[in-house]
Amino acid sequence: MKALITGASSGIGKEMAIYLSELGYDLIIVARSKDKLLELKKELKTKINIYDYDLANTKNVYKLYDDVKNDKIDVIINNAGYGLFGSYLTNKLDDEINMIDLNIKCLHILTKLFINDKNVKYILNVASSAGLMKGGPLMSTYYATKSYVCSYSFALYEELRRNNSDKVISVLCPGPVDTNFNNRANVKFNLKEMDARYVARYAIDKMFKKKLIIIPGFSVKMGLFFTRFLPTKLLLKITYKFQERKKTP
């Protein structure tokens, strides 16, 4: 049994790696920080292969696929991603494109290249509760990347189902989780954050149960449910206020 996890050097991806290794999976773990991946490898008891690739560089995504395509991988977890806070009017285009390259392009390419691999049974795409909203002012591009992940994965689910495929696609949509995400996005969450270990284990368990949309936490589920009934303009006003309070001084 083997799993590929992108963004496994910290946060949710690292906790997924620990859990899958406990379940007996050999792992291919990918992130930029080689030192952190090596530390993680030391902790784990199954066979671990490390790739310290910057996956925002599309060439590296194809290189990763070429490196591992014959490894008989059962589980693909597209987790690497980050958020960018700030006004769309002043944020730098290059920063947004880099995030799109990682959050969307890398995930899309790996899903596409592995979807017809006969060994791959499960694909878990890490989106966010942001991906189920109607837009996120002050984190506009991040929310849009996660909407892409949701929309793309949901459509793929239906195509697989109609083809009687034995492949399982799941989308993880967590609310705030206590990871390095805030530091990189330069925000401070104003809601209670969930524990990364809990979120990772919950997500993997639900993935093995073939759940399509995985939302850890009752309050996040309820919050998302009620947003469905709000008019778009009102919801955008509320989301703006909510995001504004995340600003770090």
Ligand X SMILES: NC(=O)c1ccc[n+]([C@@H]2O[C@H](COP(=O)([O-])OP(=O)(O)OC[C@H]3O[C@@H](n4cnc5c(N)ncnc54)[C@H](OP(=O)(O)O)[C@@H]3O)[C@@H](O)[C@H]2O)c1
User: How near is the Cβ of 159 to ligand X at its closest, in Å?
Assistant: 23
Nearer to ligand X, 8 or 156 (CB): 8
Cα(46)–Cα(155) distance, rounded to whole angstroms? 34
**242 within 8 A of 138, measured Cβ to Cβ:** no
When binding is defined by CB under 6 A, the residue of 63, 121, 184, 197 that contacts ligand X is 184
Cα(86)–Cα(78) distance, rounded to whole angstroms? 25
**Residue showing the smallest CB distance to ligand X in the complex:** 11
The answer for residues whose C-beta is within 8 angstroms of residue 193's C-beta and 6 or more apart is 176, 177, 178
User: How near is the Cβ of 225 to ligand X at its closest, in Å?
Assistant: 17
Using the contact rule CB under 6 A, the part of the chain among 53-61, 86-94, 114-122, 231-239 near ligand X is 53-61
By CB under 6 A, the residues from 100 to 159 that bind ligand X are 102, 126, 128
Of residues 32, 213, 23, 194, the one with CA closest to residue 106: 32
Q: Quick count: other Cβ atoms within 10 Å of Cβ 151?
A: 13
Cα(106)–Cα(63) distance, rounded to whole angstroms? 12
What tokens does 247 get? 């600003």
Q: Is 10 near ligand X (CB under 6 A)?
A: yes
Instruction: Let me know the angle formed at the C-alpha of 56 by 58 and 5, rounded to the nearest 5 degrees.
Output: 95
User: How near is the Cβ of 12 to ligand X at its closest, in Å?
Assistant: 4
User: How near is the Cβ of 164 to ligand X at its closest, in Å?
Assistant: 30
Nearer to ligand X, 156 or 214 (CB): 214
Q: Is 31 near ligand X (CB under 6 A)?
A: yes
Cα(21)–Cα(186) distance, rounded to whole angstroms? 31
Using the contact rule CB under 6 A, the part of the chain among 30-38, 64-72, 111-119, 235-243 near ligand X is 30-38
- Residue ranges binding ligand X (CB under 6 A): 7-13, 31-33, 36, 54-56, 79-83, 102, 126, 128, 174, 176-177, 179-181, 184
